[in-house]
């Protein structure tokens, strides 16, 4: 039986910030805290950050939302990016900065490992450049003096679990980003461990999302604004946590994140038999569903770039006025927002950002509007791509930083020609982690019930038929330009 006085904290460990939120058992946000992170880029393709900075940011956020422990927290769970990891020595000290998920230094090591692990190995994982194991091998080859003392290899949520409880435990979704574990397998792939020279006991124990890990260590609790009675619950990947926080708990719902990047997630009972290139899928924390995901590497970061480089420090309120002064179609300007290549619907690593159709009469407002339109056109073509694979989408829910802007949300509704919901809590990954904490503490009988009960829509943006028709021509221009540039880069 639910006790509505309970409080749950969700923590989202991102690449540029850490966020924490404290929620009541019915999903009401009590407090939200954020601390920025600034990764270092020591060389081309490399991205690192001191694990101490992540640790401090997480601790400060938790202390803030619990009012330094004055709010009793029953459960805590973590949403995190995948792949990012740190190596600890026998005393729990970091041997190098944490390496971020998008760090691409280990391409040669990934190719070597992929050849070394037999294709028919039991539970063979997907080994790629950004996988944790590839970067571990790179460190062993290039930082051999440090790695001699390696005792544990921990991904972000494993690290936080180890700090709070003394137990190195991870969830199956995060573990699958390591390149050592395949979702649905019984355990790590022994052949992959052997090829990488990693012992099983150097990796975290794998459990399902929503599984209680253990109570916070009494010596640690006070420093983190927690109680020794606070239960740490296994979390999940930030995209899945965001889907949970958006009430994406059954097929027919699409949660789209317009943050630094753009990600679209929907659930299905059965993925396509042959997954097309550009569409990803796997097991979702809510069984028996799988998830399908389409992805764009750049979204809000392009707006940040435009504001920084061309707007002389103007506020977003000012920029919004510029966009309003430009008509639908940006007076003939067409833009591609794929500054770092395209992933979905058609992978093209060499594709880059483009403005076309420029004349001396165009303004910054036209270019800014073209940028916003391009981001929404990318959303539309990915929605259509997913539907072409038999995935049914009835409801669209927008989360992340882009969900806070009415102009952008109305544009999405008009371009898609369907309603777009803004959740009451737009920091959906934080709420999703809190949902996992509530479920792990037996506040609800199932994770699906938790997601459905705690989600609330704040506002629904409905499409205007005339504006939807008006977007047809600029959307066609966008599609034709993308196809032309993709073909050009392929040649």
What 3-state class would DSSP assign to 370? helix
16 — pLDDT class (breaks 50, 70, 90): confident
What 3-state class would DSSP assign to 456? coil
Mean pLDDT of the residues in the chain: 94
With a pLDDT cut of 90, the percent of the chain lying above it is: 87
Render pLDDT for 56-88 as a digit per residue (tens, 0 to 9). 999 999 999 999 999 999 999 999 999 999 999
15 — pLDDT class (breaks 50, 70, 90): confident
Indicate if the pLDDT at residue 491 is higher than 70: no
Would you state the structure tokens that stand for residue 336, as one six-digit string?
Answer: 């591609």
Render pLDDT for 39-53 as a digit per residue (tens, 0 to 9). 999 998 899 999 999
**Going by C-beta distance under 8 Å and a sequence separation of 6 or more, which residues neighbour residue 148?**
none
Cβ atoms < 10 Å from Cβ of 409? 21
Distance, in Å, from the CA atom of 243 to the CA atom of 87, rounded to the nearest integer, reads 30
**Alpha carbon distances (Å) from 328 to 169, 321, 382:** 51, 14, 21
Render pLDDT for 156-215 as a digit per residue (tens, 0 to 9). 999 999 999 999 999 999 999 999 999 889 999 999 999 999 999 999 999 999 999 999
Is-contact 145 163, C-beta < 8 A? no
Higher-pLDDT residue of 389, 102: 389
Indicate if the pLDDT at residue 314 is higher than 60: yes
So what's the pLDDT on residue 486? 84
Parallel, antiparallel, or unpaired for β 7-13 and 75-80?
parallel
So what's the pLDDT on residue 118? 95
* Angle 479-482-485 from CA coordinates, rounded to 5°: 150
Distance, in Å, from the CA atom of 438 to the CA atom of 443, rounded to the nearest integer, reads 5
Q: Which residue has the tokens 């137990």?
A: 167
What 3-state class would DSSP assign to 339? strand
Indicate if the pLDDT at residue 348 is higher than 50: yes
For CATH 3.30.420.40, list the domain ranges present in the chain. Answer: 7-239, 246-491
What 3-state class would DSSP assign to 281? strand
Is-contact 268 455, C-beta < 8 A? no
Q: What is the DSSP letter of 97?
A: P
Cα dihedral 218→219→221→224 (10° resolution) = -170
C-alpha closest to that of 29 among 439, 405, 443, 428: 428
Residues facing residue 192 across a β-bridge? none
So what's the pLDDT on residue 490? 43
Tell me the average pLDDT across 352-362. 96
Question: The CATH number of 7-239 is which of 3.40.50.300, 2.60.40.1120, 1.20.1440.230, 3.30.420.40?
Answer: 3.30.420.40
Cβ atoms < 10 Å from Cβ of 60? 17
Residues facing residue 321 across a β-bridge? none
So what's the pLDDT on residue 297? 85
Q: What is the pTM of this model?
A: 0.89
Distance, in Å, from the CA atom of 6 to the CA atom of 414, rounded to the nearest integer, reads 40
DSSP, residue by residue, 146-213: HHTT--EEEEHHHHHHHHHHS--EEEHHHHTTTTS--TTSSS--HHHHHHHT--GGGSPEEE-TT-EE
Tell me the average pLDDT across 460-488. 93
Indicate if the pLDDT at residue 489 is higher than 70: no
So what's the pLDDT on residue 4? 54
So what's the pLDDT on residue 119? 93
Render pLDDT for 211-269 as a digit per residue (tens, 0 to 9). 999 999 999 999 999 999 999 999 999 989 999 999 999 999 999 998 888 999 999 99
Distance, in Å, from the CA atom of 134 to the CA atom of 179, rounded to the nearest integer, reads 8
Indicate if the pLDDT at residue 2 is higher than 70: no
Distance, in Å, from the CA atom of 151 to the CA atom of 356, rounded to the nearest integer, reads 53
C-alpha closest to that of 204 among 157, 158, 172, 236: 158
Render pLDDT for 206-219 as a digit per residue (tens, 0 to 9). 999 999 999 999 99
Distance, in Å, from the CA atom of 300 to the CA atom of 485, rounded to the nearest integer, reads 22
CATH class assigned to 246-491: alpha beta
Residues facing residue 7 across a β-bridge? 24
Render pLDDT for 271-281 as a digit per residue (tens, 0 to 9). 998 899 999 99
487 — pLDDT class (breaks 50, 70, 90): low
């Amino acid at each position: 039986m639910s006790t509505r006085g309970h409080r749950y904290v969700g923590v989202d460990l991102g690449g540029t910030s850490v966020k924490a939120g404290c929620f009541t058992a019915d999903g009401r946000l009590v407090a939200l805290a954020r601390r920025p992170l600034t990764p270092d880029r020591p060389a081309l393709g490399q991205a690192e950050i001191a694990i101490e900075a992540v640790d401090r940011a997480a601790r400060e956020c938790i202390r803030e939302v619990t009012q330094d422990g004055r709010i009793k927290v029953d459960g805590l769970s973590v949403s995190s990016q995948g792949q990012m990891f740190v190596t600890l020595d026998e005393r729990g000290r970091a041997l190098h900065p944490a390496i971020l998920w998008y760090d691409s230094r280990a391409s040669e090591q990934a190719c070597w490992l992929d050849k070394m692990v037999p294709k028919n190995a039991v539970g063979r994982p997907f080994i790629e450049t950004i996988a944790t194991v590839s970067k571990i091998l790179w460190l062993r080859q290039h930082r051999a003096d440090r790695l001699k003392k390696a005792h544990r290899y921990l991904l972000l949520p494993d690290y936080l679990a180890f700090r709070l409880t003394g137990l190195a435990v991870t969830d199956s979704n995060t573990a699958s980003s390591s390149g050592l574990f395949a979702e649905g397998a019984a355990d790590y792939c022994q052949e992959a461990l052997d090829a990488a020279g990693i012992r099983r006991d150097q990796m975290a124990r794998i459990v399902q999302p929503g599984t209680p890990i253990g109570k916070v260590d009494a010596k640690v609790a006070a420093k983190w604004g927690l109680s020794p009675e606070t239960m740490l619950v296994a979390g999940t990947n930030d995209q899945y946590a965001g889907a949970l926080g958006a009430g994406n708990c059954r097929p027919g719902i699409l949660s789209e994140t317009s943050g630094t990047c753009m990600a679209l997630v929907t659930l299905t009972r059965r993925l396509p038999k042959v997954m097309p290139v550009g569409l990803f899928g796997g097991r979702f924390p809510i069984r028996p569903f799988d998830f399908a995901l389409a992805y764009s590497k750049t979204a809000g970061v392009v707006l940040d770039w435009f504001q920084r480089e061309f707007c002389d420090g103007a506020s977003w309120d000012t920029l919004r006025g510029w966009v309003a002064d430009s008509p639908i179609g940006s007076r003939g300007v067409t833009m591609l927002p794929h500054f770092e290549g395209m992933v979905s619907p058609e992978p093209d690593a060499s594709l880059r950002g483009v403005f076309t159709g420029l004349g001396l009469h165009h303004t910054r407002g036209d270019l800014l509007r073209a940028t916003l339109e391009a981001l929404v056109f990318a959303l539309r073509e990915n929605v259509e791509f997913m539907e072409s694979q038999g995935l049914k989408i009835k409801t669209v829910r927008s989360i992340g930083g882009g969900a806070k802007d009415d102009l952008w949300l109305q544009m999405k509704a008009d371009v898609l020609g369907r309603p777009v919901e803004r959740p009451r809590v737009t920091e959906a990954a934080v709420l999703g982690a809190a949902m996992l904490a509530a479920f792990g503490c037996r506040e609800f009988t199932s994770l699906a019930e938790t997601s459905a009960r705690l989600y609330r829509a704040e506002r629904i943006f409905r499409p205007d038929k005339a504006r939807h028709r008006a977007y047809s021509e600029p959307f066609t221009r966008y599609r034709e330009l993308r196809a032309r540039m993709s073909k050009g880069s392929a040649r």
